[in-house]
Copies of this chain bind each other. A is one copy, B any other.
Amino acid sequence: MQPQNNIRLTNRRKVIIEELRKLHTHPTADELYEVVRKRLPRISLGTVYRNLEFLAGKGIIRKLEIGGTQKRFDGDLDIHQHIRCTECERIDDLPAGTAVTRCDREILENTGYEIIERRVEFIGICPACRARRAGEGPGHSGVVDTH
């Protein structure tokens, strides 16, 4: 068949996925690089970056576009919310069912976090980009790579 549609299961990819799924710390690319390097000492940082983007594009892992200076990645595909520390930038998962309406005291008891702010971000396609897409005609069928 079309070999260009195949995802090559390289050892690099396997180890990157495995180590990301072991962690629950939503690591940055360089943090994961340090972990993966223990198993693959010759791997390069660029390979980690490239594969994290590649795997996120395929929906195998998730890229968090949360605030902060570095990109972060998550091996857990289940829908869940995050909580970020303003001091050290660490990101934790919130317990399932934590709602925007829960009081700070309850979150403090469940997570140990002292809440400073809740932020709601909606992500979508703006009117101008929707028009531009429509104008491009029906040429692009199927999946659109957004990275």
Interface of A with B (CB < 8 Å)? 65-68, 81-88, 90, 92, 94, 98, 100, 107, 111-130, 132-133, 146
Contacts and interface: CB of A to CB of B under 8 A. Distances in A.
Nearest to A85: B126
A126 B82 contact: no
B85 A121 contact: no
A51 to B, nearest CB: 20
A112 B69 CA distance: 30
Contacts of A83: 121-124, 126
A32 B46 CA distance: 33
A122 B81 contact: yes
Contact of A120 (B115, B116, B119): B119
Nearest to A107: B122
Nearest to A113: B124
A107 to B, nearest CB: 7
Nearest to A104: B124
B82 A121 contact: yes
